[in-house]
A and B are shown apart, each in its own frame.
Chain A
Amino acid sequence: MALPAWEVVIGLEVHCQLMTQTKIFSGAATAYGAEPNTQADAVTLGLPGVLPVLNQQAVKMAVKFGLAVDAKIAERCVFARKHYFYPDLPKGYQISQYELPIVEHGHLDIEVDGKVKRIGITRAHLEEDAGKSLHEAYPGMTGIDLNRAGTPLIEIVSEPDIRSAAEAVAYLKKMHAIVVSLGVCDGNMQEGSFRCDANVSVRRGPDAPFGTRTETKNINSFRYVQQAIDFEIARQIEVLEAGGTIYQETRLFNPDTGETRAMRLKENANDYRYFPDPDLLPVIVTAEDIAAIKADMPELPTAKKVRFESQYGLSPYDANLLTGETALALYFEDVVKTSGAEAKLCSNWVTGNLLAALNKSGKGIEDTPISAVQLAGLVARIADKTISGNIGKDVFEAMLNGEGSADEIIKAKGLMQITDAGAIIKAIEEIMAKNPGQLAEYRSGKDKLFGFFVGQTMKATGGKANPDALNRLLKEKLAG
């Protein structure tokens, strides 16, 4: 009997840096990219005698996140010390949360291949980030930069509900959209503001017990997540099918090779000796606090998608695409508002031509060469029939080349649509006179030749004839 097919089981831990001005336990700044150790104050350095003071902004942001994923916000949560020795961990312990995290039991609905799937969120806890070890800069030595140490993080732990790399990426993209739209994280993955550890295992079918899992650490792009998970799945299946064993271990992803490699066996890992941090009081979040935070919450992607469908009459697909990124949704709404055109037309231009152009040049919506106001100018001219949709594509290309606003381009290139019946009739009559044979055939019943006359007339008007007017007038004239 054939063995059941392999099933992939994935759980993700997302580390999300919170956008507070100052660190989670001190007044040092959190800005990225400063000279090494210029943002390391006495508390960050873990000097003897210093004490942590909790940044209430970080608590608010964690609560915001919890509310956004329908989670339970703990009335009372506790900071704990997690001990291990590493040079970029100044105190010899990380202040984190262990038994009593601030957020528990949430979920996120993702959409893969048109199907909605709910992924459980076990917990999200507040903690401080570590510093950075710089191994390359100093031959034979290691430099320590503690600027990042003490930056507030929420670590978001999913249930092992994810079954493919595609689901993992969908989950991460959704999570990313949420934390960015909440304004709790800048979402910059290259700078490590949003990064993920992937726990991957495989088993023989959904009824088999979980297999041994590996944890691939610190993956900082959606594409790398896909690659790392796919590599890990293939590797594990290959090992198991060859009769080998998967070890519970921490692995590192190498973006250059697309492979993961073992870093350390988890069995030998530290005993973290967690205990409640006696320097910090338990954090109490009251119902009033939660209500105040709720009132201050921006619209979340899911709610926005629903609104886009009902308010703008968009398809679920388009609504999902447009609300996937806060900046894109904003851009779209700007185009609608500025152009005064039908939302569906705006959506077509944003999700079609604009996204295609951005994809082609590898740019994000933040770096779009065509502003929402510019695109609105183009859409407005299509809506008021100054130009046709086809001519619009030429104008769009010209805008991409920086040739100015839609009106400037239309004027400069004389692209104004011809709606004047007289001019169109004149063109039709010329075409009819030039093509007596085709005219006779048409009139004897060969309807297909209508397309020929449309094409010829369009050509004669330089594509500027209003298509509706052209069709109507042509039919009249051809009928004789």
Chain B
Amino acid sequence: MNLHQLSLTAMAEGLAARKFSSRELTQHYLDRIAQYDKQLNSYVTLTAHAALDAADVADTRRTKGEVGGLLAGIPIAQKDIFCTEGVRTACGSKMLDRFVAPYSATIIDKLHRDAGMVMLGKLNMDEFAMGSSNETSFYGPVKNPWDVTRVPGGSSGGSVAAVAAGLAPVATATDTGGSIRQPAAFTNLTGIKPTYGRVSRYGMIAFASSLDQAGVVARSTEDAALILQAMSGFDPLDSTSIERPVDDLVGGLGKSIKGLKIGLPKEYFADGMSAGVRSCVEAAIAQLKALGAVVSEISLPNAPLSVPTYYVVAPAEASSNLARMDGVRFGHRSQEARNLEELYKKSRGEGFGPEVQRRIMIGTYVLSHGYYDAYYLQAQKVRNLIYQDFKRAYEAVDVILAPTTTDVAFKFGDKSDDPVAMYLNDIYTIAANLAGIPAMSLPCGFSDGLPVGFQLMGNYFDEARLLNVAHQYQQATDFHNQSPKEFL
């Protein structure tokens, strides 16, 4: 078996048994990146030298008998939204094309400094995570390894393409409205967005602060659980992170799901889903029933309001968060500016791409004097209703199951001229962000040879249960083990 087809646990065992070194493992991925990434464009920055150095450190420590964690010496790639000290952190934008972060995000420290993982490089993404197709990146679109004429989804397009094509064993990702789950579904991966506040946002470049949450995309639930375990936990540097112990996510896998109550929100199963997606999701429901789960229909009556609510809240926060990109202290500064006002207008006009500018304008508008009540305040009220819907639902069921996307990965350019069609991509994923609940997507089949995912949404801090259900499903199915043929 090829190294890149091993699970993280198998890699850890291989390293422990000295079947291969961290350097060999790291070099294997660097070689594959060199061989395949021209086709995919998943990496924006490779940190090959630093990676090999880190691998050597892990190997030396292992030789000396120093006890490292399970993940020590295993490579990972980082979405370019996380600040990495000394390494360019561009967030998919010309604005930060030359921004070298002077500090590292908390999760970067947790994964590398604490867990001893090896960073291969930084992954492509939609500009400032605004997009559902990875077409808004300043560094060009990422291709879907399952069909390079199709999008990998967004905004974590680089993360999923790299993992799906075996150019990284696992990758971090972020999810503001579905940016982990939708691309995971499009590339046959398992992706989880934990509860808001479970993983620190410190050092993760903010898109919409009240919705952003970091997570992971992986080749299996077990891999995802291992990484999420290492990322999670309270961070005193993030006031919205929650001081609460992290459950044993890996140890929690392997429990029977007999009697598990699964709710199917009728609003998610109405029109809108393609026939291919519908049949795969229905098969997944049947499989879970076969494993002993009890399935019932539930209602999330305000869920259909998610998209309009999101497209008020997220741009409002984004317009504010991106105000610091002013060309004064870091980032792109226009060479054409002759006075202060031009410094702002030209630096921002040149540095931000059209989708980011569109969202800044929407956000500025909805926060403006005289419109605030009608838009932002109203959206917050609806958001509360959506939250109440979920709260009520979890009194009756343990997890909620829904499709992740309406259809399989679409072709480049299909939706890029129609922002509303593009925004509707997130119709099934957004509610979880608005409510702050954990949610994941996992593979459940193929439609015309393209992967289909389904979504599991859990109650607050119920990641362990969510992952166990997913793991039980993956124990009984083989979809997640399929890899794109061109990248074997």
Which residues of chain A (16-65) have a CB below 8 Å from chain B? Answer: 42, 45-54
Is A279 interfacial (CB-CB < 8 Å)?
A: yes
Asked if A90 is an interface residue, CB under 8 A from chain B, the answer is: yes
CB contact between B369 and one of A93, A271, A280 (< 8 Å): that residue: A271
Tell me the B99-129 residues at the A interface (CB within 8 Å): 99, 101-103, 105
B287 at the interface (CB under 8 A from A): no
Closest to A86 in B: B340
Cross-chain contact A51 with B324 (CB below 8 angstroms): no
Chain A residues within an 8 Å CB radius of B304: none
In contact, A90 and B239 (Cβ under 8 angstroms)? no
Q: Are B203 and A49 in contact (CB under 8 A)?
A: yes
B323 part of interface (Cβ distance < 8 Å): yes
- Contact between A90 and B369, CB atoms less than 8 A apart: no
Write the B185-222 contact mask toward A (1 if CB under 8 angstroms, else 0): 00000000000000001111110111000000000000
Q: Is B58 an interface residue (CB 8 A)?
A: no
Q: Please, could you name 19 A-B residue pairs with CB atoms under 8 Å apart, sorted by A?
A: A42-B102, A46-B324, A47-B101, A47-B329, A48-B330, A49-B83, A49-B89, A50-B202, A50-B203, A51-B240, A54-B239, A83-B367, A85-B323, A92-B320, A92-B323, A144-B329, A273-B369, A273-B372, A280-B239
Confirm or deny: A87 has a beta carbon within 8 angstroms of a beta carbon on chain B: yes
Chain B residues with Cβ under 8 A from A51's Cβ?
201-202, 237-240
Residue B328 CB within 8 A of the other chain: yes
CB of A278 within 8 A of chain B?
Answer: yes
Q: Is the beta-carbon distance between A48 and B329 smaller than 8 angstroms?
A: no
Quick check: A93 and B203 within 8 Å, CB to CB?
A: no
Extra 5 A-B pairs, beta carbons < 8 Å, given A49-B205, A49-B206 = A47-B330, A48-B324, A85-B344, A273-B367, A279-B209
Q: In the bound complex, how far is the Cα of B368 from the Cα of A29, in angstroms?
A: 35
> A307 in the interface, Cβ–Cβ < 8 Å?
no
Sorted nearest first, the 6 A-B pairs with minimum C-beta distance are A92-B323, A278-B209, A278-B210, A273-B367, A49-B203, A48-B205
CA distance A93 to B318 in the complex (A): 13
A271–B368 CA distance with the chains assembled, in angstroms: 7
Chain B's nearest CB lies how many Å from the CB of A281? 6
- B-contacting residues, A269-299, CB 8 Å: 271, 273-275, 278-281
- The verdict on A91 contacting chain B, using a C-beta distance below 8 Å, is yes
Say yes or no for B376: interface residue by CB 8 A criterion. Answer: yes
Instruction: List residues of chain B with CB within 8 A of the CB of A93.
Output: 320, 323
Known pairs A49-B205, A273-B320, A273-B367; A85 contacts B326 (CB<8 A): yes
Q: For the complex formed, measure the closest distance between the CB of B246 and the CB atoms of chain A, giving whole angstroms.
A: 20
Please pick, from A49, A275, A279, the residue contacting B240 in the complex, using a CB distance under 8 A: A279
The answer to whether B240 and A47 touch across the interface, beta carbons within 8 angstroms, is no
Closest to B241 in A: A51
Chain B positions within 8 Å of A279 at CB level: 206, 209, 239-240
Cβ contact within 8 Å between B91 and A281: no
**Most chain B Cβ neighbours within 10 Å, of A46, A52, A273, A274:** A273
Query: Shortest Cβ distance from B356 into chain A, in angstroms?
Result: 13
Q: Contact mask A238-259 → B, CB, 8 Å, 1/0?
A: 0000000000000000000000
**Is the CB of B96 closer than 8 A to any CB of chain A?**
yes
- Decide if A281 touches B240 in the complex (CB within 8 Å): yes
In the bound complex, what is the Cα–Cα distance between A274 and B237 (angstroms)? 24
- For residue A81, CB closer than 8 A to chain B, the reply is yes
Interface pair B320/A275, CB less than 8 Å apart: yes
Which of the listed residues A47, A48, A90 has the most CB atoms from chain B within 10 Å of its own CB? Answer: A48
Would you give the shortest CB distance from B317 to chain A, in whole angstroms? Answer: 6
Query: Does chain A have a CB within 8 A of B316?
Result: yes
Residues of the B chain whose Cβ atoms lie less than 8 Å from the Cβ of A83? 320, 323, 367
A window 112-158: CB within 8 A of B? 144
Tell me if B236 is interfacial: C-beta within 8 Å of chain A.
Answer: yes
B364 at the A interface (CB under 8 A): yes
Q: Are A47 and B103 in contact (CB under 8 A)?
A: yes
B382 to chain A, nearest CB (A): 16
Give the most central of A52, A87, A279: most B CB within 10 Å. A279
Among residues of B, the one whose C-beta sits closest to the C-beta of A280 is B239
Please indicate the chain A residues that have their CB under 8 angstroms from the CB of B205 in the complex: 48-49
Number of contact residues on A: which range applies? 20 to 34
Closest to A41 in B: B103
Tally the A-B contacts, defined by beta carbons under 8 Å: 102
With A47-B102, A49-B203, A275-B376 in contact, is A90–B324 under 8 Å at CB? yes
Which residues of A sit under 8 angstroms from B210, Cβ to Cβ? 278
Q: Across the interface, which residues of B come within 8 angstroms of A49, CB to CB?
A: 82-83, 89, 101, 105, 202-206
Nearest-Cβ distance from residue A143 to partner chain B, whole angstroms: 11
Which residues in A have their C-beta under 8 angstroms from that of B239? 51-54, 279-281
Question: Which chain B residues lie closer than 8 Å to A87 at the CB level?
Answer: 326, 328, 340
Q: Which residues in B have their C-beta under 8 angstroms from that of A271? A: 368-369
A92 and B326 contact, CB distance less than 8 A: yes
Which residues of the partner chain A approach B317 to less than 8 Å between Cβ atoms? 278
Q: Once the chains bind, are B320 and A81 in contact (CB under 8 Å)?
A: yes
A51–B369 Cα distance when bound, in Å, is 26
Looking at the assembled complex, report how far the CB atom of B297 sits from the nearest CB atom of chain A, in whole angstroms.
34
Partner of A91, one of B209, B240, B324, B340: B324
Q: How far is the CA of A90 from the CA of B319 in the complex (A)?
A: 15
Whole-angstrom CA separation of A228 from B329 in the bound complex: 36
- Contact for A273 among B91, B208, B324, B364, CB less than 8 A: B364
A275 contacts B372, C-beta separation under 8 Å: yes
Residues of B within 8 A of A47 (CB): 83, 101-103, 324, 329-330
- B285-319 contacts to A (CB < 8 Å): 316-317, 319
Nearest chain A CB to B332 CB, angstrom units: 12
Q: Which of A50, A81, A83 has the most chain B CB within a 10 Å cutoff?
A: A50
* Chain A nearest CB, measured from B249 CB (Å): 25
Chain B: minimal CB distance from A27 (Å):
10
Specify the chain B residue showing the minimal Cβ separation from A54: B239
Q: Which of A59-101 contact B (CB under 8 A)?
A: 81, 83, 85, 87, 90-93
With a cutoff of 8 Å between Cβ atoms, the chain B residues found around residue A42 in the complex are 102-103
Which chain A residues lie closer than 8 Å to B364 at the CB level?
Answer: 273
Report the Cα distance A85→B96, complex, angstroms: 19
Which chain A residue shows the least CB distance to B81? A49
B58 to chain A, nearest CB (A): 26
> What chain A residues lie within 8 Å of B208 (beta carbons)?
278
Smallest Cβ-Cβ distance to B105: which chain A residue: A49
> A90 — which chain B residues lie within 8 A by C-beta?
324, 328-329
Q: Enumerate chain A residues within 8 angstroms of B367, measured Cβ to Cβ.
A: 83, 273-275
Contact B368–A275 (Cβ < 8 Å)? no
Name B200's closest neighbour in chain A (CB-CB). Answer: A51
Contact with A along B393-404 (1 / 0, CB 8 A): 000000000000
Separation of A271 and B367 alpha carbons in the complex (Å): 9
A91 to chain B: closest residue by CB: B324
Within the complex, which residue of B83, B238, B240, B320 is in contact with A48, where a contact is CB–CB below 8 Å?
B83
Contact of A91 with B323 in the complex, beta carbons under 8 Å? yes
Taking CB atoms and an 8 Å cut-off, the chain B residues in 224-249 that contact chain A are: 236-240
Over the window 353-391 of chain A, the binary record of Cβ atoms lying under 8 Å from chain B Cβ atoms (1 yes, 0 no) is 000000000000000000000000000000000000000
Binary A-proximity of B66-96 (CB < 8 A = 1, otherwise 0): 0000000000000000110000010100001
Q: CB distance B344 to A48 under 8 Å?
A: no
A126 CB to nearest B CB, Å: 14
Most buried by A among B208, B328, B369: B328
- Chain A residues numbered 315-359 whose CB sits less than 8 Å from any CB in chain B: none
Report B142-154 CB contacts with A as 1/0, cut-off 8 Å.
0000000000000
Q: Report B-chain residues with C-beta under 8 Å of the C-beta of A278.
A: 208-210, 240, 317
A53–B237 touching, CB < 8 Å: yes
Contacts of A274 in B (CB 8 A): 367, 372
Closest-CB distance, B252 to chain A (whole angstroms): 29
Docked pose: A280 CA to B206 CA in angstroms: 14
What A residues does B89 contact at CB under 8 A?
Answer: 48-49
Nearest B residue to A84 via CB reads B323
For A50, the chain B residues whose CB sits under 8 A away are 202-203
A144 to B83, CA, bound (A): 24
Task: Give 1 or 0 for each of B439-454: 1 = CB within 8 Å of chain A CB.
Answer: 0000000000000000
Closest Cβ–Cβ distance, residue A169 to chain B (whole Å) = 35
